[in-house]
Amino acid sequence: MPPLFSINTDENDILTSDIVSSDGRAQDASGDVTSGELSGKLFRKFLGHIPVGCKATLDNNLSLVTTQVDKESGNIYIGGVNRLYQLNENLETTTKVVTGPKEDSPDCSSRECPQNVEKRLTDNYNKVLVIDENENRLITCGSLFQGICSIRNLRNISEEYAEVREAVVANNSTASTVAFIAPGPSASNVLYVGVTYTGNSHYYRSEVPAVSSRSLNRNELFQIAKTEVTTGTRIFVNSLSREIYPINYIFGFSSGGFSYFLTTQKKSTHNNMWISKLVRICHEDREYYSYTEIPIECNENGQRFELIQAASIAKPSPDLAADLDVMLNEDILYAVFSESSGHDPSQPSENSALCVYSLKSIRKKYMENIQKCFSGHGLRGLEFISENRACTATKLNTITEDFCGLDVNTPLGGEEPVREKPLATFTNHLTAITATSTGEFTVAFLGTAEGHIKKVRFFFVKRKELKYGNV
């Protein structure tokens, strides 16, 4: 088959190289783009970081929704509306699977539908594509039937191993879902899932957690990994807040014994200002007592980039590690943010920024927030999950990095943010990012809403020494 799509670049984009000045603002400069051309390997990695909601035209005017890249084979998997695609490393389509439309209704459960409910042909929006490397299989989830998931053959996605009638992901076209595989309780891998509440089926959607860890065992596929009488590996937005407090899940990752989600949400149920947050759960936590949220900020000189749009995790180059005072095996979070739109604080504007955070600094900020509450200072927060009570003083004198929560001061919403200044600002809406280390420096590729790719080469973050160019 011919390539599914191609990359078109403007001649001026290729020949233009920019230098970021000391204030982080991109300026025009003469010179050549040091990358020469975007390698196929890194481009495939970039495809795997296109966020949910980013759309590109496919055949028959279908829309791309999610992507994944198999590092071993180089194959690319694309989830679209009513379609799944498998591409080889040359971007040629090898397999196409039709997943919809099908007869459905929000008033049907994931397993059955009452006879009095009128069903209609409904599009199936792919919400999740996750490669399970240990089992050599592909997990796909769509919006039909309350958001169920399937297991497919990684080498031939037309071969479906199992379809599990369990509501897991968002069941409409716009609500966010983020999912990734990481260790869970009992050292077994689980599927971490963050889901925006849709509200289009009150009874059934109230049973879908906002954040959960789900089993990948063959006889318990996609069930909540651990359940107790009143707890388990799940967290819900309470019934009073579900309709008025939406949470958008942007990115998820695992690092150092914890799993993280990046979100955008209101500052509180009584404050319409939108902010970005980091959500964290300890891998070994069977009850989600460790569930903690803290703000994450990318601001400078009064200019606030409130809304995170995309993120990527990578190891630092030697120079970047030295500059950030971290080890070479430390994880670095690269994130792009946008200013809030003037007419709607939940929506991004055209002004964007790039910020970089070490997980070392993030862990430190979590320890500070948890220690403060466990010393009896401040409020527990997160009134959209449970009652906002005063923090309870405990006998814990020191909170260590591997603290995994207790049945007190949980869930916890820390107020002290992890904060960095922008490395560079842009007058484009940035929607995607991937980063990697090559030799002595680090390179990040940024995608814009207009379909352009920008390249940033990092030298010294603290002094903002980096090169910027279009590819």
Highest mean pLDDT among 23-27, 104-108, 185-189: 104-108
Confidence of residue 54 (pLDDT cuts 50, 70, 90): very low
Q: What is the pLDDT of residues 408-463, one digit of tens each?
A: 999 999 999 999 999 889 999 999 999 988 777 788 899 999 888 998 887 666 65
What is the structure's pLDDT at 79?
96
Q: Using only C-alpha atoms, what is the Rg of the chain?
A: 22
CA angle 64, 67, 69 (to 5 degrees): 145
Pairing of strands 189-195, 211-215: antiparallel
Greater pLDDT, 1 or 159: 159
CA distances from 273 to 196, 239, 296 (A): 18, 21, 14
Confidence of residue 7 (pLDDT cuts 50, 70, 90): very low
Query: Phi, psi (5° rounding) for residue 11?
Result: -55, -40
What is the structure's pLDDT at 59?
53
- Region 116-136 average pLDDT: 96
Asked whether 244 and 272 are in contact (CB, 8 A), the reply is no
What is the structure's pLDDT at 45?
52
As beta bridge partners, residue 178 has 194
Pairing of strands 412-413, 418-420: unpaired
In the predicted structure, residue 29 carries a pLDDT above the cut 60: no
Is the torsion defined by CA of 205, 207, 208, 210 positive or negative? Answer: positive
The 348-358 sheet, strands edge to edge: 307-314, 332-340, 348-358, 424-426
Is the torsion defined by CA of 230, 231, 236, 241 positive or negative? Answer: positive
What is the structure's pLDDT at 24?
34
Confidence of residue 62 (pLDDT cuts 50, 70, 90): low
Average pLDDT, the chain: 86
Q: What is the pLDDT of residues 366-396, one digit of tens each?
A: 999 999 999 999 999 999 999 999 999 999 8
Instruction: Record the pTM.
Output: 0.89
The 83-87 sheet, strands edge to edge: 64-69, 76-80, 83-87, 93-98
- Domains of the chain are 11-32+237-471 (2.130.10.10), 35-109+121-195+198-226 (2.130.10.10)
How many residues are there in the chain? 471
Query: Phi, psi (5° rounding) for residue 42?
Result: -70, -30
Q: What is the pLDDT of residues 217-250, one digit of tens each?
A: 999 999 999 988 788 999 999 999 999 999 999 9
CA pair distance 90, 70, nearest whole angstrom: 13
Greater pLDDT, 53 or 19: 53
In the predicted structure, residue 92 carries a pLDDT above the cut 50: yes
Q: What is the pLDDT of residues 73-87, one digit of tens each?
A: 999 999 999 999 999
Greater pLDDT, 301 or 292: 292
